[in-house]
Amino acid sequence: MIRPALRRDRLPGAWGLFDALVGPLLVVVLVIAIAWLVYQDKNMTEIVLLFGINAIMVIGFQIFVGNTGLVSFGHIAFMALGAYGAAIVSIDPADKSYLLPDLPNFLEHMKLGVIPALLVGGLVAAVFALVTGVALMRLSGAAASIATLGLLAITVNILSQATRFTHGPRSLFGVPQYASFGWVFGSLAAVVLVSGIFKWSSAGLRARANRDDLIAAEASGVGSLLSRLIPFVLSAFVTGVGGGLYGMLITAFSPASFTLALAVVVLTMAIIGGVNSITGAIVGASVITALNEVMRRVENGVDIAGLHIKAATGISAAVLGVALIVTLRLRPAGLLSSYEFQLGLGRGVRLPPVSVVHEERTTPAPSEER
């Protein structure tokens, strides 16, 4: 059943944790089954793989934004770092010799498989998030969002100038096309599991306590910097893995491939599905990917009941904007809000007082005394 996420002042017991994780995983299994059926159509192969990567990106975005309440426009920077990190360690050494002749020796002769390359991409993004997050996570509200936008601009500029490692502003090509159905959707299942474990961990609950009431959380001993930094770094790692898969899907990219427009698409997916829900992230990625594909076909022209319908080029972006506005007007919290798919197997166990955001009032109010 679909039910609200467990109360923020409760930590699931063993059965409760299993219930909280198995629900989103069952949704992923259903999504994988449907995606596999669509994948059999050769014309839909790339769309299905792109959907899986989008879902990973949105869940990475949700880990940070959903748990901290801070909107980030800079997560595409972690996607770019993950793509370049995974590419550098997976490109054939023979190709590196003329593409990146100035690489350090240990990188020049390195060629890793899919899993190690994706882990490297994720770790590069996570380390960068750790270094920059110490300063960024001290900010709140609009200041934090603008700072992450600046982080994206700085990252793209650095990648364009780091010719020794990235081939500069030119395309880095020769990336192995490892992004198969199994690797993409296997990574998606693993990411959902990691996201669920973090959400119901003490670190996740402290992050949401800080999100809901900063003053009360700090008064209870929940520091804002650490409670934001942990999801920021974890989110960067997941987004970096998604970026690595993206690079292995398109096999050639440049710093210009990672723009604010891509960040807006990910943000739209998260908002439409429900930024506070793991299940909502998957739903949002499904809805927007399907909508983009439908509009792409309409732009190319379709025949319906004997009529040839062709929309103006670029209408996909307009329809995406309309969908976002309608969602924010009718359901501001997204389609699933903070709801998760759960089976109702376990009960919550109360957290220690340090994580309780709102203390119960033990003395009567003045009106009650009278």
Structure tokens at 282: 């998957």
What would the pLDDT profile of 317-354 be if each residue is shown by its tens digit? 888 888 889 988 888 888 888 787 766 654 443 334 33
What would the pLDDT profile of 122-145 be if each residue is shown by its tens digit? 999 999 999 999 999 998 888 998
**Are residues 45 and 119 in contact, defined by beta-carbon separation less than 8 angstroms?**
no
**Are residues 230 and 137 in contact, defined by beta-carbon separation less than 8 angstroms?**
no
User: Residue 363 has what pLDDT?
Assistant: 45
**Are residues 126 and 236 in contact, defined by beta-carbon separation less than 8 angstroms?**
yes
Instruction: Give backbone dihedrals phi and psi of 364, rounded to 5 degrees, phi first.
Output: -70, 150
Q: Quick one: pLDDT band at residue 28, thresholds 50, 70, 90?
A: confident
pTM summary value: 0.85
Structure tokens at 328: 């924010």
**Are residues 258 and 79 in contact, defined by beta-carbon separation less than 8 angstroms?**
yes
Q: How many residues does the chain have?
A: 370
User: Residue 212 has what pLDDT?
Assistant: 87
User: Residue 200 has what pLDDT?
Assistant: 86
Instruction: Give backbone dihedrals phi and psi of 341, rounded to 5 degrees, phi first.
Output: -80, 115
User: Residue 233 has what pLDDT?
Assistant: 96
User: Residue 13 has what pLDDT?
Assistant: 57
Confidence check: pLDDT of 15 > 80: no
Confidence check: pLDDT of 230 > 90: yes
Q: Quick one: pLDDT band at residue 223, thresholds 50, 70, 90?
A: confident
